[in-house]
Homo-oligomer: A and B are copies of this chain.
Amino acid sequence: MNVSSRIRVREDPVVRRAQIIEEGIRLIGLHGYNGFTVQALATRCGISNAGLLYYFGSKDALLLAFLAELERQDRELLEPLVARAIGRGDAPSSRTVVIALLRTVASRFTESPALGRFAVMLQCESIDPSHPAHDWFLSRETMAFDMFVSLVTGLTPDPQSTARQLVALMNGLAQQWLRADRPFDLEIEWEKAVTAILPALFEDESDSNRI
């Protein structure tokens, strides 16, 4: 099955790159890295196999580009909030900022499900130490964990465990939501879960740093 049945279109390289990355993230989110083929991505972009590899020389290079895009979007969305929430690292974070940050963590999924699915899928697939994204996700998870720890410090007696629980909950809920037999509202369920795990966050009393 070749592409020549259609007229050859020559796309602006910037646009094509963006298209490849977007569709690639969609495909890997669906089938994982192992279940994903260069051919399938090329077809979906309306170009040939070789045409695709003209931009990204190999399957691994494609994966790296997708991961970079994930990191870029993450940073773009979270960085300002994290900066405000963690601040100098000493001062306790303002509760409203923590709440905003936690909300954002969930809305990332509802606002771009394809990227969320991509992250969930690869994070699981890359448990395998020989997976090309293993190290990447290892460091990503470590960073996320540390971020959560400093976020909940002062709001819970055991920040390590609470942080771990929050990370676990977000992943687990997202996975349920993606399978979505009888779909549910992810943001509402996430808020309920955070309330259960971190009740101090929503208490009205002004003696905030107790517990």
Contacts and interface: CB of A to CB of B under 8 A. Distances in A.
Contacts of A125: 32, 35, 121, 124-125
Nearest to A192: B161
Given A172-B167, A172-B170, A138 B179 contact: yes
A141 interface: yes
Oligomer copy total: 2
A181 B142 contact: yes
A168 B169 contact: yes
A122 B164 CA distance: 23
A192 to B, nearest CB: 5
B176 A168 contact: yes
Contact of A138 (B117, B123, B170, B181): B181
A68 interface: no
A171 interface: yes
A123 B172 CA distance: 11
B181 A173 contact: no
Contact of A32 (B32, B117, B142, B161): B32
Contact of A127 (B121, B142, B167, B196): B121
Interface string A131-155: 1000001100110000000000000
Per CB-CB distance, the 4 closest pairs between chain A and chain B, nearest first, are: A168-B172, A124-B124, A172-B172, A34-B35
13 contacts: A31-B131, A34-B35, A123-B175, A127-B178, A138-B181, A142-B181, A164-B184, A165-B169, A168-B169, A168-B176, A171-B171, A172-B172, A197-B197
